[in-house]
Amino acid sequence: MKSTILKSGLLALTLISTITSCSKKYEGYTINGNIPGQKDGMIYLEFVGGDKNILKDSTKILDGHFTFSGKVEEPLRYSIKLKGQEYGRVFILSNETIAFAANKDSIFTAKLIGATQDSIYSGYYKNEFKKIQSIAEPVYKASDSISQNGKVKPTPEQKALMDKRWTDLQTLADNLTYKFIESHKDKIAGALVLDDRLVTYGTPEQVKKYYGILTPEIQKSYFGKKIKTAIDLNDKTAVGVLAPEFSQTDVNGKIVKLSDYKGKYVLVDFWASWCGPCRKENPNVLLAYKTYHDKGFNVLGVSLDDKKNLWEKAIEKDGLTWTHVSDLKGWKNEAAILYGVKLVPTNYLIGPDGKIVAKNLREEALQAKLKEIFSKS
């Protein structure tokens, strides 16, 4: 009798285990959408990653309602949009039930209920980032007022005052971002904010430090692996390492190689005609070139343009007399990808031995570094 009861109990446990494992195997997401005024039509679910969104699912809208269901292996960025629309509502999709409500003319502002991971991630921009912006706005206005939008050079006193305000702003931003990542180190949101705010705008040291805070599970996630790739790429273009070789054509179609500059100091300057901050920095690079070119300093401009005529007009208008190259692939410029360029302007000062001496030298920092180098020669 006891044997029969024991066997029955084991059978029951086995069945429960089987049912549980089956239910987990087929767990997934359900998105219940409501778009008042959109009686019918098609709506699309796309994976957001890389250079182009990837269509994952589509369904018909019936009397303003639609449903998507499926399963994701981990939380990832997806977008929902109507046929013919360029932009959709981007969000973090997890295996959960989500309510999606939107106006047909502004799908990208849709409200979500039940998207847990997306809610945590969005919280950073609604709170920490909003606070950073509120403090940054008057600092930017003060800077523009003092310089009259770049037309007037600030006095030493004004510069010292603004330098302190910029430093204080950066410290605040770093602290708020760090605290968010630390408190969400076991969430996708922690990795996403790190990728958004620091991989592009922070220092390599910050990225490494904050990546180390993330839990092993998050480090192994899609976004964690993406950050690790950026770290590895930064290591390949770190100060002290041999600069990766590349070659591209100049405005006349001649092939120019980085190694052509071996034995000299060269500033590899990634820029573009459409980049306002690049054009604003060009006079500073021009001053450095004029001051130190005769002493062995060169500039190699690498443009992220995709239209040759606009590239050439900018070179002529800004009076940039050094060599310029581009493959005219825009953000897909092969040299930019090789160096992990995420924004422009970005520059690398490379020494006579082909090793990277410094990165992202702008304004007075560029002049000071060159003065330090050439005052010894």
CATH of 29-114, one of 2.60.40.180, 2.130.10.10, 3.40.50.300, 3.40.50.720: 2.60.40.180
Q: Return the minimum-mean-pLDDT range out of 42-51, 140-149, 173-182, 308-317.
A: 140-149
First to last CA, the chain: 98
245 contacts 257 by C-beta, under 8 angstroms: yes
CATH of 247-374, one of 3.30.1490.190, 3.40.30.10, 3.30.70.360, 3.20.10.10: 3.40.30.10
CA distance 53 to 78: 9
Domain residue spans in the chain? Answer: 29-114, 123-236, 247-374
29 contacts 94 by C-beta, under 8 angstroms: yes
Provide the 8-state DSSP code for 149. T
DSSP string of 94-142, one letter each residue: -SSEEEEE--TT-GGG-EEES-HHHHHHHHHHHTHHHHHHHHHHHHHHH
Over residues 238-276, the pLDDT tens digits come to: 999 999 999 999 999 999 999 999 999 999 999 999 999
| Mean pLDDT for the chain overall | 89
Instruction: Give the per-residue pLDDT at 171.
Output: 93
Altogether, the residues listed in the chain come to a count of: 377
Single out the residue of 362, 204, 170 nearest to residue 270, CA to CA: 362
Instruction: Give the per-residue pLDDT at 22.
Output: 40
* Whether pLDDT at 5 is above 80: no
Write the CB contacts of 117 (distance below 8 Å, at least 6 apart in sequence): 75, 92, 94, 187, 188, 189
CA distance 358 to 350: 7
The pTM for the full model equals: 0.77
* Whether pLDDT at 231 is above 90: yes
Write the CB contacts of 7 (distance below 8 Å, at least 6 apart in sequence): none
Instruction: Tell me the average pLDDT across 89-111.
Output: 94
Q: Which of 11-20, 24-33, 191-200, 298-307 has the highest mean pLDDT?
A: 298-307
Over residues 117-129, the pLDDT tens digits come to: 999 999 999 999 9
φ and ψ of 214, to 5 deg: -60, 145
Instruction: Give the per-residue pLDDT at 176.
Output: 95
pLDDT class of 377 with cuts at 50, 70, 90: low
Residue 17 or residue 61, greater confidence:
61
Instruction: Give the per-residue pLDDT at 339.
Output: 94
